[in-house]
Structure 1
Amino acid sequence: MISISKLYCGGTAESDGLRYGHGGQGPAVSAGAPPASKTAAERRPVTVWNVTRTCNLRCIHCYTDSEAKKYGGELTTEEGKALIRDLAGFQIPALLFSGGEPLARPDLFDLVACARSLGVRPTLSTNGTLITDETARQIKDAGFTYVGISLDGIGEVNDRFRGVGGAFDRAVRGFKACVAVGQRVGLRLTLTRHNFANLHGIFDFIEREQIDRACFYHLVYSGRGGQIAGDDLSREETRQALDIILERTEDFHRRGLNKEILTVDNHVDGIYLYMKLLAKDPARAEKVLRLLTWNGGGMYSSGVGIADIDFLGNVHADQFWMHHSFGSVRERPFSEIWTDTADPLMAGLKNRRAKIKGRCAPGICKWFDACGGAMRVRADLVYSDPWAPEPACYLTDEEIGFTPEKQKLVRARGEDFPMPEFSRPPRTAPPRISDIPPSISCTGGTEA
């Protein structure tokens, strides 16, 4: 995660410590003098638990390929509580209840109560459509520290993206219900060509609905997301999207609106932010670069600072690595699986500096220490090699210091991976709703 509001505007937020504190206190961090960091093996991951695969929507980018049906094999209530006890003993910083749609799981609040009783910080990732006034009060009373509601556009844009008509209106109801009971709630949006033209409208929505937090995710090509890789933003469009996010976040800050704005799943954003800030405030930019470098970018993400447990109990490096399991919590405790580096992928993720290749490699990309090679799962999905360059890097060769001499060295190593451009050339007009695949229905679905 890249906190735009903190790094670009100097704001603060409750969750900044998870990204820039590593357990240290604010003054040392804000002064640009980070405290000693833990090793990859010592860190405990924010853990995503997909408590169910069932979902009442059918989003075109869903990494779990969920639908409105019952899937067999979910961890039982007792298995879930045993898992939570292990996670509490392992001292994870937070447990994110996700899905599918987690509110479709009948025992969700029993599981959350177990987590709270053991001192585990629970958060919720939901599509928001099942949140009524009564449900919002249940969520608040259960002790969720944060609720993230996915919204991928305004009105029909969201509904086509989500595969069910009326999803936007019901998600808005969910936002309003959470705000009304004082539940901390945020918006989650995945950037694609389907919603690129909606960005300003999304920021207007955030202000109008008094939403405290928004996370803008880069597309990861897993699950159904792989079917829309061609609708990812072009490199130029990604830069334009970041410009809008920076501009609107700065506007919030200037007007005294305390909004936490973040981008997620592409650590290149931190470098782009730094380069933008360098032109307007060089002294602050250097402090930001120190923070980014200390935080390590992708070096401490998947397999280190983030983990996933799917609805069957399989453990993954993050929620997008569903194609690779390290083991099942039905057979071994999560804490044991997570610290076992016998699996080459787990070992590599905990020591990726020695693994990453091509234009992303240390000594090749001048920003490696701050970016850390970004998202390894995207490299694996595109090249079938988790150590290949980040295919969604939108910085130029010149910007990363990839000189002709370094290019020659990379070719000599056999690491000259072609950088794909999934998207068509940038549009001259905003994307139209008709461009979304007609196979995605705007009707149907259930409230299951």
Structure 2
Amino acid sequence: MTARRMRTVVRRPRHAVAERPFIVIWEATRACPPACLHCRAEAVTARHPDELDGADARRLMDAIAGFGRPGPLFVITGGDPFQRADLTDLVAYGTSLGLRVAVSPSGTPTLTRENLVAVRDAGAVALSLSLDGSTAERHDAFRGVDGVFDWTLDGWRTARALGLRVQINTTVTRESLEDLADVAALVRREGAKLWSNFLLVPAGRGERLEPLTAREVEDVLHFLHDCGTTPATKTTEGHHFRRVALQRRILDAHGERPRLGPLYGRHMARAAELGLFRGERRTARRPPVDVSSGRGFVFVSHTGEVHPSGFLPVSAGNVRGRPLTEIYRDSALFTALRDPSLLRGRCGACEFKAVCGGSRSRAYGFTGDVLESDPYCAYEPGSFPYRDELRSLTESTRCRPPGAPYGA
């Protein structure tokens, strides 16, 4: 296996992530009609009086543009960002600065063709929508409001017809676990640029949901890897998906398969029953991107607090008092998260730590320590057999020091 082929297993940003994030997500509001079981924001129906106003939001976008070119992807999320009357103006302003702007609305009656046309015409390039069940019964029960499934599907189809790139987000919980193959089939049938699976983090209302076991998560990650040639697939707060991609590339080269559990077998059997792997498929899987909490990723709350992730409720500062560029580059929290040598427990001992590092949000949610082990990872450090090939892979994708250029 050539070094060039190995490097494509995990995609790297083209710039030093210690200097410039790959993606900035702004929680424009926490106002949102549904009452989703997993909601990290514990969203409410009314807007918060201390939300960043239009002038604050423009200053935030100025700061994001100040990171330089290529600018980070800027995602306006919520809550439901359509609850803000100035959403279209903000999209237009970000676009005028040269930012690539995406919008992540909720499935509500605001998800209309008129609103989608407005954000597209203002310059939005993409839309992300949540789908946590393959049927209205499943999805609406998870979202806590009847009709959300139909609103989401209508908005999804409209967005695609308008030329917007669509990402579908699915939260992997005990409730959705056995439905993943059906959701994958729906995503393939309706069409999406990307299917992103969010591995549950115990934050907000998500603290009340039953966690998965590490072995279940391992089966899910391998199933998602196998789905990668049908809908393009990624994970959020599932950074060990990169480990799986590296392992599977090496095992495939040796004609070997991983030893997985019964959940993986059920997923694959259901996928075969649904015809998920029949017909036209992508020529290659979409390589996961080497971006993690505070390392290429930054989240700004509705009140301006800056977090390494929306699922990690530890603030490094507020954009009203300190420039985002300064917080991202220099704060103690962010610089610590970019140093894999500081990780503790099994994550600290793991040979994949520079390219995976585990979910810092989940580590904090379960232990109160952002540098502890990710309890959703079943891998035992040092147990993968092909050490030389693995070393070549992990060294080709390891973090660069600040200012060092990234390869393609």
Give the TM-score, by structure 1 length.
0.72
- How far did 1:43 drift? 3.1
What residue is the counterpart of 2:316 in the other structure?
A: 326
Match of 1:367 in 2: 352
Alignment of 1:56-67 (within 5 A): 56-67=33-44
Which of the residues 244, 251, 266 maps onto 1:272? 244
In the alignment, structure 1 residue 158 sits paired with structure 2 residue 158: no
Q: How does 1:290-439 map to 2 (within 5 A)?
A: 297=290, 300-322=291-313, 324-341=314-331, 344-350=332-338, 352-361=339-348, 364-371=349-356, 373-396=357-380, 399=383
* Structure-2 change in CA distance of 1:234 and 1:76 (3 Å): same
C-alpha distance in structure 1 between counterparts of 2:42 and 2:294, whole Å: 22
**1:141 alignment partner, one of 106, 121, 139:** 121
Q: Distance in 2 between matches of 1:309 and 1:113?
A: 19
Deviations 1:91-120 (A, max 9, x none): 341111011111111101111111000101
Alignment of 1:23-62 (within 5 A): 23=14, 38=16, 40-62=17-39
- CA deviations over 1:258-311 (Å, ceiling 9, x no partner): x4221221221222233333332349x9xx9xx88xx7x4xx522231111111
Q: Could you tell me how far apart the structure 2 residues matched to 1:108 and 1:273 are?
A: 37
Q: CA deviation at 1:176?
A: 1.2
Deviation of 1:340 after TM superposition, in Å, equals 2.9
Q: Residue 368 of structure 1: SS of its match in structure 2? A: coil
- Structure 1, unaligned runs of 5 or more: 1-6, 12-18, 24-36, 253-258, 402-448
Q: For structure 1, which segment, 391-400 or 73-82, has the greater mean C-alpha deviation from structure 2 after superposition?
A: 391-400
The whole-number CA distance in structure 2 between the counterparts of 1:119 and 1:65 is 32
Indicate how the Cα distance of structure 1 residues 207 and 277 shifts in structure 2: closer, same or farther if over 3 A, else same.
Answer: same
Q: Give 3-state SS (helix, strand or coil) of 1:369's partner.
A: coil
Q: Which whole-Å deviations, capped at 9, do the CAs of 1:411-441 have from their partners, x for residues lacking one?
A: xxxxxxxxxxxxxxxxxxxxxxxxxxxxxxx
Deviation at 1:81, TM superposition (A): 1.0
Task: State the Cα deviation string for residues 321-359 of structure 1 (Å, max 9, x = none).
Answer: 22x222222222222222333xx4233123x22311121
Q: Given the alignment, which residue of 76, 83, 90 partners 2:53?
A: 76
Distance 1:21 1:234 in 2: 29
Matched residue SS, 2:133: coil
Name the SS for the 1:147 alignment partner.
strand
Identify the residue that residue 112 of structure 1 maps to in structure 2.
Answer: 91
Identity of aligned residues (%): 30
Distance across 1 between alignment mates of 2:345 and 2:236: 23
* Structure 2: runs of 5 or more not aligned: 258-283, 386-408
Q: Is the 8 A contact 2:299 2:310 kept in 1?
A: yes
Runs of 4+ in 1 over 4 A off after TM superposition: none
Task: State how far apart, in whole Å, the 2-side matches of 1:340 and 1:203 are.
Answer: 40
Q: Give 3-state SS (helix, strand or coil) of 1:370's partner.
A: coil
RMSD: 2.7
**Number of residue equivalences:** 348
1:398 shift after superposition: 6.4
